[in-house]
Structure 1
Amino acid sequence: MKNIALAEKHVSLGAKMVPFAGFNMPVQYEGINAEHATVRNDVGVFDVSHMGEFILKGEGALDLIQRVTSNDASKLVDGKVQYSCLPNQQGGIVDDLLVYRIDDKTYLLVVNASNIEKDLQWIQNFNHSGVDINDISERTSLLAVQGPKATAVLQKLTEVDLASMEYYSFKKGTFAGVENVLISATGYTGAGGYELYFDNEYAEQIWDAIFEAGKDSNIKPIGLGARDTLRLEKGFCLYGNDIDDTTSPLEAGLGWITKFSKTFTNSENLEAQKKAGIKKRLVGFEMVDRGIPRHDYPITNPAGEVIGRVTSGTQSPTLQKAIGMGYVDVEYAQPGTEIAIAIRNTNVRARVVKVPFV
């Protein structure tokens, strides 16, 4: 089990630590609901240093990224970020990722912790022009400072004008006395905020500075449990749950990051799938009757016939109702459609709704 740089800090703060993607990670501190509310209303800090980071550098860096990702990275300019995915050759997804353009020959790719080795090998398989690929995951820490008060708290620690940064943009600058921190206007909560990338050796210095700056803003450490409920309320896909090696980006509602203006891995088959029409679709739903939907629970129509499966589900702390996402046959994908979730051999009524939930 790998430890992130601040593992002992989290233990000292009373975090419940659990194994996640091969790392010892904080899942909660005071409780998921309280931590969830902190991020929605104030500001919280997630340590997500388990994520993977690759630097791609060289004349062919953009061509390689264009070949292996579904989105059109040629649209990026310096300081911009793009959400994308790595399609496989069978119609599914190797991983979803962020692509950062540092300059025209240098890119940062941020991938999921559970897929670091898989993704690195996958990208190398297409590296036919000698692009330098440097895996900096083990020496990089990543903190996500999220919530409506994040800008005010973090602005105390840098001269970078945070308020002027557009969503999905980034700047490098001095932060909490540390040079060359990458400050990114991104996050996985839908609550606003930033993600900070820096070398492990500065992790404690930066963590302590953030909490000192936020002491009057109800700042709190937040675990992976609340990260999951926050992203689900916004309908964000989680790799391994809502998308995986068997799910098409078109089925997952990721057509907006699947650009057929270029050729990429399996693009011909995915374009054919788009023209023919998909047979299943990822939808959001809310429970009508009482019950919590869980991963892999069957989804049925009112007649009790199985039409899909749950990929994510929880009791929404904001809405105080049970919500979820799952794949259903496309004829049941319209908002307002009555469905049911098979919970302990009982078909519990639910309804398809538009996402985000909040």
Structure 2
Amino acid sequence: MGNGVAITLPDGSKKQFDGPISGMEVAESIGAGLAKAALAVIVDGEQWDLLRTIKTDTSIAIITRDSEEGLELLRHDCAHVLAEAVKELYPDVQVTIGPSIEGGFYYDFARDTPFTLEDLEQIEKRMAQIVDRDEDIVREVWERDAAVDFFKDAGEHYKAEIIGDLPANEEITIYRQGDWLDLCRGPHLPSTGRLGKAFKLTKVAGAYWRGDSRNEQLQRIYGTCWRNDKELKAYLHMLEEAEKRDHRRLGREMGLFHLQEEATGSVFWHEKGWTFYRLLETYMRRRLEAENYVEVKTPQLIDRSLWEASGHWDKFQENMFIAESEERMLAVKPMNCP
């Protein structure tokens, strides 16, 4: 039908438009309520920015704030707002990557000075200001060499390295968020104001660049992000309740064990606690033997080749203890298997 574009909706119905159309315009054609709730669009199974132009006949679904896809998008954008805030407050910091994760998001930064809790408070305030500014978030496609040169000139060598390692045929997309630019596949919200302020920065932890202990150590700022204040408050309340039952605190208060920096993640058992541990172990072994289970024991430190074969390396590498010996990389098993 000429240069028109036919859009098929999830219920099978079709809408005809005279020419190229954006996901936002499709949402507006359906109803003002949907347009207000819309965050992004799924085009033939792929998530797109809401304002990206659709030029051919296709099937689409609108991603709204109340969907799981919408929540993940909010968290991803919150990571980008975090990075913009950090760059505004600490211009010498280098940004690396910042994905959404279960319950929230994180962003890794290269900075010589450790972030403090006071820093997190200031960063969170600046994030709220960026939301208030309602900055447009615009997708741009760049030439690879131009993108590498831009980030190198900006002192963002980690970003330049990422671009240089991308497949030669992969499109390089840069998102302009106010005056800040970041490499990302997207999609993103139309503007920072769509994010809202139902977020909270929670902690800082160490991380290695690209999850490799041979690389530089970075600082990872974690946060949580939700659709509204009610969800955020419920999540923070859950964390508070979990803290009351934290085994580290209970162990210390009950005189069972303690932890200290010299043995990160390991327990110093006290007499009462070790007695309790052995009693539980004896009980468990007796029950297992009664049901004819056979007990085996495997090594704790194993060559990375096994973890690559099992799939653990890809999923848990950043959180595994790694040691090198005789030109081999060994890692402690990340859970009680195999």
Asked whether the two chains share a fold, i.e. TM above 0.5, the reply is: no
Larger radius of gyration: 2
Normalized per residue, the structure richer in strand is: 1
Higher normalized contact order (CA 8 Å, seq sep 6+, divided by chain length): 1
Q: State the TM-score, normalized to the length of structure 1.
A: 0.27
Normalized per residue, the structure richer in helix is: 2
